[in-house]
Structure 1
Amino acid sequence: MAKTDTQISLRVTSQFKARLERQAERERRSVSNLILKVMEEYLEQEEEKENSGS
């Protein structure tokens, strides 16, 4: 089966990583999944702003 996901990387401070890990644990998701969720929500909001003319 072909892989459909692509990977990106970014650098964050150790304190920021710890915050991400704590939040991911609270939501019972992986850090990767938490970041994906947050970025999807952000992009949806920005696209809505664009489409509404704001």
Structure 2
Amino acid sequence: MQNEGIGTKSQQALKLQQEQLKTERKTVSRERREAEKVRKFELKQQKKKEKHRGR
């Protein structure tokens, strides 16, 4: 009863690689979502300024 893991060493390595890719995708997705949020906010601020420019 040495390693009570799932599958062989190669399967465990694949599983580890999948987990790393999953966390990497999560961080990239989060950064992209935050950047989009900032872009939309700045666009909204710009539109608000343009509305008041003619006064």
- Structure with the greater alpha carbon radius of gyration: 2
Q: TM-score, normalised by structure 1?
A: 0.50
Greater RCO, CA 8 A, separation 6+: 1
Q: TM-score, normalised by structure 2?
A: 0.49
